[in-house]
Amino acid sequence: MQQTVARYLIFFQYTGSKYSGVMKAPAHQAVQGVGNHLENAVRKLKPVNEVCVSISSRTDTGVHALCNSAHVDIQRRADKPPLSEQSLLEALNFQLKEEPIRITRAYRVHSDFHARYQAQSRTYVYRLALGCQHHTLMPLTEKDLCWALRDTRLNIDAMREASALLLGTHDFSTFRALSSDAPFKCPVKTLDLAQLEPGESFSQRHFQRDIQFWELTFKSRSFLYRQVRRMTGVLVAIGQGRLSVSKIQDLLEARDSLAFPNNLTAPAHGLFLTNVQYRDTDLVASMSEEQ
């Protein structure tokens, strides 16, 4: 009797600085994606089936995640029981230990569960550090983990006013970067959260310089390609007084990727995917049904 295939949803974190992004890179590419390392780790568990890790939320080169998710099927030899959630988590972390990638949670899910399509929301946090005349003057503990701006202050009120205009349902075409991937996806998205709050850092209190941190948080069911970095770039330009608050409205109304101002996309290394949410009921597998 052949063992049933078990499907798992895994949540994982990574610092993105050394990867080509979260998606699996083609074999010939020198720099690998987080996905390559995840698949290799699953393969080390010697499943009978071909391994394919389906990642829920795309992040680019240099972007980090405190929480991303993926599903994967594991079929073991007939004489072996399915891996428990905890065993899977520990075994994958053991395999990944050389890499800045860690599995944080694992759930056995229904065989038709899909990490990407069943995600209810994604949350991104963009970290800004103010008052840094040169990147060498940042605390090294923040290296590649925030966007260091020379400005000592931003017009926070204007940024908050502008981010409120992004809330709700809009055609975000202007905020989508052109990409060969799925250019025909619907550009209408509903932004549930766009907030700006003071950020935190250990080094802020102890480093001998006045560096302030701010965090932009965005939550939506899904985002367009580079949407968060483009929204952040525009909000920062508004905070710097380089754009007026009403520019947000103009950009939304343009509904055109090419209408986005040049060189305004925020750099990748300040961006963190911090949550991918599912319905609680999706995280409870019916084991009887599976067997």
Binding site for a copy of itself (CB under 8 A): 11, 13-15, 64, 66-67, 93, 97, 100-105, 125, 127, 136-137, 139-141, 143, 145, 199-209, 213, 215, 272, 274-275
Cβ distance to a copy of itself smaller for residue 89 or 231: 89
Please report, in angstroms and rounded to a whole number, the separation of the first and last CA atoms in the chain.
12
Q: In angstroms, rounded to a whole number, what is the distance separating the alpha carbons of residues 2 and 131?
A: 62
Q: Residue 124 annotated as binding?
A: yes
Residue 60 appears among annotated catalytic residues = yes
Residue 43's SS3 state is helix
33 — phi, psi (to 5°)?
-95, 165
CB of 191 to a copy of itself, least distance (A): 18
Residue 171 C-beta-side C-alpha neighbours within 13 Å: 11
Whether 275 contacts 122, CB under 8 Å: yes
CB of 41 to a copy of itself, least distance (A): 13
Q: Which of 60, 144, 151, 171 is catalytic?
A: 60
Cβ distance to a copy of itself smaller for residue 173 or 275: 275
CB of 66 to a copy of itself, least distance (A): 5
Q: Which two tokens stand for residue 61?
A: 């080169």
Q: In angstroms, rounded to a whole number, what is the distance separating the alpha carbons of residues 155 and 279?
A: 38
Strands (E), 28-120: 54-55, 64-74, 101-109
Going by C-beta distance under 8 Å and a sequence separation of 6 or more, which residues neighbour residue 239?
Answer: 151, 154, 155, 156, 158, 159
Q: Say how many C-beta atoms besides its own lie within 10 A of residue 77's C-beta.
A: 10
CB of 143 to a copy of itself, least distance (A): 7
Active site residues: 60
- Residue numbers in the known binding site for substrate are 124
